[in-house]
Amino acid sequence: MSSKLGIGILGCGNISAAYMRLAPLFKGIEVRACADINEAAAKARAEEFDLRAETVDGLLAAADIDIIVNLTIPSAHFEVSRKILEAGKHVYSEKPFVLGVEEGAALAEIARSRGLRVGSAPDTFLGGAHQLARHLVDSNAVGKVTSGTCFVQSPGMEMWHPNPDFFFKPGGGPILDLGPYYVSNLVQLLGPVKRVTAMSSSASEERTITSEPRFGEKIKVETPTTIHAVMQFHSGAQVTYCASWDVWQHGHSNMELYGREGTLHVPDPNFFGGEVRMTEKGNFVNIAQDWAHPFSKANDRGHANYRTAGLADMALAILENRPHRCSLEFSLHVVDVMTSILAAGEKGQVLDIGTTCERPEALPPEAAKDLLAV
């Protein structure tokens, strides 16, 4: 078997450039072609990154493509991923990879029957900061984690995204768009979620785009834009999670975990890097002096950006016949938690989570180095 798997990108919108630009950092993958229903967009990306432009059907049939990265809008993820699997290709999807547990189970069955893999973003929990937090939790540095808080709040996506419509439709909103980063990180740190409850609302019925080129256009809001949730984990920990696009400014930390022996301050899981801080009882201590994780190093406009690490890990897992970290089981549990939060917000109930998963294998510094091409 080849030491590299051929990668095709399906969907050449805003996020595709990051995948194409950062993939060469990693072993096991080579982006070879791209496609989009807008063939002009595919041709433009192909020229920008020296790739082959394909039609959608051409990409599905291409003999040199082993994994197709599904970068379509969330509402199309299931149907597109189904077609990719039925074409005999592995699929790695942007988040959320499906919008419901039934869709995820259907993809799992197709993949199982054909001997194929399904993977999904986000892979930011593989970043150096979050793997340091994982190391500290696993080594009992703050004692048993009993509770925590998460806050991801801003004025909204219409202020910067050129086509923000889908953020405010079913499948978008701050839970399904940003929640994958936060819930994935919590599950890799604390394990699976047992049950959830929530309250939800929207500050307005429409939003005004203030980005170009559609400045001034109105968008109808079709999904909650403020959600306050509580997650109870099988470990016993309970975490408050507040996600909103109706907040101009706030002073809350992104993520804090409270243990019996101290507190762990975890940076924004939307990014790979950042500062992890820890206390012993009430006093801060120095923790990171010997944690030389390659995915903590700034490599992209002053930030640590290692997007496609999850894709590379999946490709190498296929080649090495081992489980991959951004797995279907893990991602489906995260989707179950998020959709249950939304349902709990609508119903005003406490809902049990029907799925579970194993925590992804940790990615310590040496294992991360093994993913890198240089």
Distance CA 181, CA 329 (A): 16
Q: At what angle do helices 328-347 and 173-190 cross, to 10 degrees?
A: 130
Q: What would the mean pLDDT of 272-280 be, rounded to a whole number?
A: 96
Per residue in 63-91, pLDDT tens? 999 999 999 998 999 999 999 999 999 99
Distance CA 68, CA 94 (A): 11
CA-closest candidate to residue 39, choices 27, 47, 30? 47
Rg (CA), the chain: 20
The answer, yes or no, to whether residue 1 has pLDDT greater than 60, is no
Distance CA 242, CA 72 (A): 27
Backbone dihedral angles phi then psi of residue 234, each to the nearest 5 degrees: -60, -25
> What single string gives the DSSP state of each residue in 102-152?
HHHHHHHHHHHHHT--EEES--GGGSHHHHHHHHHHHTTTT-SEEEEEEEE
Distance CA 116, CA 86 (A): 10
Distance CA 91, CA 111 (A): 9
Distance CA 109, CA 340 (A): 22
Percent of the chain with pLDDT over 90: 94
Report the Cα 6 to chain-centroid distance in Å. 22
**pLDDT, the chain, mean:** 96
Q: At what angle do helices 101-114 and 77-86 cross, to 10 degrees?
A: 10
Map residue 213 onto helix, strand or coil: coil
Distance CA 179, CA 224 (A): 13
**Burial label, 21 (beta-carbon count in 10 A; 0-12, 13-18, 19+):** middle
Segment (H or E) for 67: strand 67-70
Q: Which residues of 221-254 are buried (b: 16+ CB within 10 A; e: fewer)?
A: bebbbbbbbbbbbeeebebebbbbbbbeeeeeeb
> Three-state SS string across 294-346, please?
HHHCCCECCECCCCCHHHHHHHHHHHHCCCCCCEHHHHHHHHHHHHHHHHHHH
pLDDT of residue 19: 97
Q: What would the mean pLDDT of 129-150 be, rounded to a whole number?
A: 97
The answer, yes or no, to whether residue 208 has pLDDT greater than 60, is yes
- Amino acid, single-letter form, for residue 156: G
Percent of the chain with pLDDT over 70: 99
pLDDT of residue 289: 66
Distance CA 183, CA 328 (A): 15
CA-closest candidate to residue 295, choices 25, 29, 71? 25
Segment (H or E) for 32: strand 29-35
CA-closest candidate to residue 340, choices 150, 195, 151, 228? 195
Judge whether 84 and 318 are in contact, CB under 8 Å.
Answer: no
Report the Cα 176 to chain-centroid distance in Å. 10
pTM confidence score:
0.95
Q: At what angle do helices 128-138 and 173-190 cross, to 10 degrees?
A: 40
Per residue in 279-332, pLDDT tens? 999 999 998 767 899 999 999 988 999 999 999 999 999 999 999 999 999 999
pLDDT of residue 2: 67
Judge whether 180 and 98 are in contact, CB under 8 Å.
Answer: no
